[in-house]
Amino acid sequence: MHSNNTIKFTILQTPVHDTKQANIEQLRRLMDCEAVKKADFVTLPEMWNCPYYSKAFPVFAEPEGGTSWQFCSDLAREYGVYLAAGSMPEIDGGHVYNTAYVFDRAGRQIAKHRKVHLFDIDVKGGQRFKESDT
């Protein structure tokens, strides 16, 4: 926390690439920007490491502690920030979840939330997207 008792937030909204590695590399570059270096708390977007369509979620899913989780833990520790790691597809017990993790400045996971209100839309003659299919 800064001496004037304020908390500085940086919210990253990122384009998502078709490979997990490209998303990880992009996030690594963004963490070096001045806004992040001055931040106490950094937030990432929903499904930051995965294209946002239902068929991609199981393909990109990892268990808690997987590559993306570990990367976020390492970033929080390396940059000394609290990191709300947006969300990422998590696989657990054969099920895929849209899971958000929060890490403290030491890189320890201090919170976990699985999205329960899934985004389903089916407009006659229009857009159809059903998170609940996953």
User: Which pLDDT score, from 0 to 100, does residue 15 have?
Assistant: 92
Angle made by CA atoms 68, 72, 73, in degrees to the nearest 5 = 115
Q: Does residue 46 contact residue 119 with C-beta atoms inside 8 Å? A: no
- Helix and strand element counts for the chain (H, E): 4, 8
Q: Widest CA span of the chain, in angstroms?
A: 56
What percentage of the chain reaches a pLDDT higher than 70?
Answer: 87
Worst-scoring range by mean pLDDT, 38-42, 58-62, 91-95, 124-128?
124-128
**Confidence at 122, pLDDT banded by 50, 70, 90:** low
Closest among 77, 109, 87, 7 to 43, alpha carbons compared: 87
User: Is residue 86 pLDDT above 60, yes or no?
Assistant: yes
Closest among 53, 51, 58, 59 to 119, alpha carbons compared: 53
pLDDT in tens, 49-61: 999 888 999 999 9
pLDDT in tens, 1-43: 555 789 999 999 989 999 999 999 999 999 999 888 899 999 9
Per DSSP, helices labelled H in 12-123 are 20-30, 34-37, 56-60, 67-79
Question: To the nearest whole number, what is the mean pLDDT of the chain?
Answer: 89
Residues in the chain: 134
- Tokens coding 2: 């800064």
Closest among 12, 8, 72, 73 to 40, alpha carbons compared: 8
